[in-house]
Amino acid sequence: MLTISGLVKKYGAGDPVLKNLDLEVEGEQILSVIGSSGAGKSTLLRCINRLVEPTSGTITLNGTDYTRLGKRDLRVARRRIGMVFQSFNLVDRLTVMENIQCGRLGYISTWAALTRRYPKEDIRRAFDLMERVGIAHYADKRADELSGGERQRVGVIRALMQDPEILLADEPTASLDPKTSEQIMMLLRDLASELKLPVIINIHNVNEAKEFSDRIVGMRYGRIIFDDLPTALTEDAMHEIYAGIPLADRQAEGAAA
């Protein structure tokens, strides 16, 4: 279970980006976080694995308070949190297999990583996952030769290679065309079910959030103002989350993100 209590993130002397935020996530659910730009969605995800340092509050994953960990312990603990990025974060000159094995860097020796002598069981696991998402035939292909959807699949597998206890996805479909976006969302949903894995997705596309999520959290100005089933996300709830922004403007904002 992920438990966030009283989370605050403040930059300088301005208003906090996150304001005393509380959230619990458990089970194999897909939780989508929606809200206007600047609502604090990305900051929330990045605080969970401390890519951004919280100002105060606690973030506890299965009994470990990540806000209290020192640098050494944090490096080890981060293996339990997989992260999928909007910009893929692949090393273009490396092959698909080499990029995927980056998910195991927290488990193997520096020498093995530098010489690319990956354990046989890690290679087998990578091939199994690549088969699962239909890209095993790209194992020896450079990352910069792949399409956006293929690159994001590599990013998902790399995160799963960590054997995470939770998966975070920060705008995983924002750089993709509509058809590929749906495929990635469907993949995340299916993997969450198959691996019994909770997944938190920061997403602009509300229709995709409603179609593929088990639960939706709406944020506005650093606070959670909606937390319910997708079927409860009415136009009135949308109006509150997006502060009265017309639907057409919200759709345009999502397309431009």
CATH number for the domain including 177? 3.40.50.300
108, pLDDT greater than 80: no
pLDDT band (50, 70, 90) for residue 174: confident
* 52-65: average pLDDT: 95
Question: Which pLDDT belongs to residue 16?
Answer: 92
Question: Which pLDDT belongs to residue 257?
Answer: 47
Total domains, the chain: 1
Question: Which pLDDT belongs to residue 244?
Answer: 56
Question: Which pLDDT belongs to residue 203?
Answer: 94
What residues make up the domain containing 79?
2-256
pLDDT band (50, 70, 90) for residue 254: low
* 13-31: average pLDDT: 91
Please give the helix or strand (H or E) that residue 19 lies within, else none. strand 18-25
DSSP code, position 49: T
Radius of gyration of the chain (CA): 18
Q: pTM of the full predicted structure?
A: 0.88
Closest to 31 (Cα-Cα) out of 4, 65, 63, 62: 4
To the nearest whole number, what is the mean pLDDT of the chain? 90
Question: Of residues 105 and 222, which shows the higher confidence score?
Answer: 222
Question: Are the CB atoms for 214 and 185 separated by under 8 Å?
Answer: no
Question: Which pLDDT belongs to residue 255?
Answer: 56
